[in-house]
Amino acid sequence: MFRFFETLVDPYVRYDEVDTPPTQLWPFLRQYLAPFRGVFLAAILFKAAVAFGDVAIVWYVGRLIDLLNGGTPAEVWATYRGEFILVAALILIVRPIVAAVDVGLLNNSITPNLGTLIRWRSHRHVLRQPVGWFENDFAGRLANRIMQTPPAAGEAVFQVLDAVTFAVSTLIGAVVLLGGADPILLVPLAIWTVCYALLMRWTLRRAGPASTAASEARSVITGRVVDSYTNIHSVKMFAHHDREIEYAREAIETARHAFFREMRILFRMDVTLTALNGALIVGSIGLALWLWFVGQTTIGAVAAASALVLRLNNMTYWIMWAATNLVQNLGVIREGMMTIAQPLSLTDAPGARPLKLTQGRIDVRGLTHRYGLDHGGIEGIELSVKAGEKLGIVGPSGAGKSTLVKLLLRFYAPEAGRIEIDGTDIASVTQDSLRQAMGMVQQDTALLHRSVRENILYGRPDATEAEVIAAAQRAEAHDFVLQLEDSDGNRGYDARVGERGVKLSGGQRQRVALARVILKDAPILILDEATSALDSEVEAAIQDTLYRMMEGKTVIAIAHRLSTIARMDRIVVMEAGRIVEDGSHDALLQRGGLYARLWARQSGGFLGDDTAEAAE
């Protein structure tokens, strides 16, 4: 039975991904709710059946009282025995079945699958955003929005299908019951309904913005706390424990006051509703008693009206809180849409095809990118790298070296100019195929909080165990990996490395990253300070591996330590976003320009005799 309800909707059903999601609430929700339309309709019908059944029981209690007053027990039983048995069967058999289907649709079909669908699709959309998009926000806040929006959406739908449908159905049933007894009994109910609607309107108009503000305040707390945890080494190293506590306290206090504003609205609503319900009880029951006193209705009708009004009294608190909760959840969804509904800022061109790499030649033509500012970045870069050529890039910090590499990887779209690989503009090919053709080791190596094996396999997921170990051995990582053990007792290649690889030293992280790139074996290799975290002994041991890995590949290597690129075929020197020198190591030294001055400031490196001779 459970399996039937749980599989009515597939949360992973194929769908057309859009680069620009709807930015308005209802179109946004409609897009996500489309697979549930049939289930929603069934849920509404069964919830209405449950509500009408409850009103029918109240009506029948009134009828039962009148029947019992109409004769002796024997006469009543003889006349209405079949009716009593039928009603009992409906209550004992049919009512539980209807309620079971109602609960199964809401709790087993809709709630878990809707949250799963929204979380799945939201995560897919966010992962398609470019690197620059992630650099402009807290990772914690982004994750918080992804995590809190699905349950809020599920709760909102649940409230609509459960509370709102039940309330409307009950109200309709109440109108039919009271109107059937005497139309005048509808007067107190009509007045109360108008006042209740006005109170709900007042509450919801204020609760929505208050809930959005409270949700945003909670996201700020998450962002600040996660920022502190992520950078815990800096917090401890600079002894800024108290500073981080105060930084979080400011956000927590802001959230507390936002919550105060939300609760004040609910306080006013609750007190006013109590007064309204008191008026409904006195007005409806008092009017029913008056009608009985003057002989215009039966005692059964008075009993049914009294029971129904008391039921409405209890239900109205639930409905008001449900409606308020609905608006609060819609506020959470709106806040989550600030992340989930943002259009992709960097997309594949229409009709983009996979990159067909034939040689590996790279041509940079008039490339300019300043990150939307009037300074920084790079400007007018002209550069050609022949297939199989090893190119070194050097220059002071801020010269634009990393910007050039990010544009080559298409983490950003250039503001002017283009990059071609084998004559094809990289803007015209799919981003995935472009990056699959490149292997990169960065200075700031971040590993996934997974096992060593999984991190290395990131380079080529279909690699065998033997290939993983061989890559680790070539990266001088195998020996230390075998000694690893995490807090769960996992050893060697099964050991987890911690968030961003914090359980490993900088050199260990770098060697795992090298193993990952070695395993990928891409035709274009990018090294951004690839050996910066290695000590001299390990770097010397791994240099031969790096050069063997470069064979047959087009290589771009960024380095501050000039000795690591002295053996490159060519070196370009960047300054202030431009290429100011271009040539071999020896030619640049003879020119006596910026490269020669940078080389003179350094004491050499770990490349062997050739480098020492070049330094002389």
- Per-residue pLDDT tens digits for 495-521: 988 776 677 877 788 888 889 999 998
What average pLDDT score do residues 147-153 get?
A: 83
Domain total in the chain: 2
CATH number of the domain enclosing 610: 3.40.50.300
525 against 537, higher pLDDT: 525
Based on the fold, state whether residues 360 and 335 are members of the same structural domain: no
Based on the fold, state whether residues 203 and 264 are members of the same structural domain: yes
Residue 172 lies inside a defined structural domain of this protein: yes
Query: pLDDT grade, residue 456 (50/70/90)?
Result: very high
Boundary-marking domain end, from 286, 307, 340: 340
350 against 167, higher pLDDT: 350
Query: pLDDT grade, residue 463 (50/70/90)?
Result: very high
Q: What is the pLDDT of residue 355?
A: 92
Provide the H-helix boundaries in 483-579.
Answer: 506-520, 536-550
Q: What is the pLDDT of residue 610?
A: 38
Q: Tell me, letter by letter, the H, E, C secondary structure of 446-492.
A: CECCCEHHHHHHCCCCCCCHHHHHHHHHHCCCHHHHHCCECCCCCEH
What average pLDDT score do residues 158-180 get?
A: 79
Based on the fold, state whether residues 218 and 324 are members of the same structural domain: yes
Q: What is the pLDDT of residue 196?
A: 82
Residue 558 lies inside a defined structural domain of this protein: no
pLDDT in tens, 3-49: 899 999 999 988 888 888 888 888 888 888 889 989 999 999 998 89
Question: For a pLDDT cut of 90, what percent of the chain falls above it?
Answer: 27
Residue 217 lies inside a defined structural domain of this protein: yes
Boundary-marking domain end, from 285, 314, 340: 340
Question: Which range has the worst mean pLDDT, 275-289, 319-333, 366-380?
Answer: 319-333
Based on the fold, state whether residues 305 and 401 are members of the same structural domain: no
Q: What is the pLDDT of residue 538?
A: 61
Residue 470 lies inside a defined structural domain of this protein: no
Based on the fold, state whether residues 246 and 315 are members of the same structural domain: yes
485 against 541, higher pLDDT: 485
Based on the fold, state whether residues 318 and 379 are members of the same structural domain: no
Based on the fold, state whether residues 173 and 229 are members of the same structural domain: yes
CATH number of the domain enclosing 249: 1.20.1560.10
Based on the fold, state whether residues 303 and 276 are members of the same structural domain: yes
Based on the fold, state whether residues 247 and 113 are members of the same structural domain: yes
Separation between Cα atoms, residue 237 and residue 139, nearest integer Å: 22
pLDDT in tens, 226-269: 888 878 877 887 788 888 888 889 989 998 998 888 888 878 88
Mean pLDDT, all residues of the chain: 84
Residue 119 lies inside a defined structural domain of this protein: yes
> Does residue 58 contact residue 307 with C-beta atoms inside 8 Å?
yes
Separation between Cα atoms, residue 219 and residue 225, nearest integer Å: 10
Residue in 441, 447, 446, 452 with CA at minimum distance from that of residue 477: 452
Boundary-marking domain end, from 282, 312, 340: 340
Based on the fold, state whether residues 195 and 247 are members of the same structural domain: yes
Question: Which range has the worst mean pLDDT, 105-114, 222-231, 313-322, 432-441?
Answer: 313-322
Based on the fold, state whether residues 229 and 375 are members of the same structural domain: no
pLDDT in tens, 373-395: 777 789 999 999 999 999 999 98
Residue 177 lies inside a defined structural domain of this protein: yes
Residue 498 lies inside a defined structural domain of this protein: no
Domain extent, residue 124, equals 18-340
Based on the fold, state whether residues 200 and 334 are members of the same structural domain: yes
Residue 557 lies inside a defined structural domain of this protein: no
Q: Say whether pLDDT at 420 is over 90.
A: yes
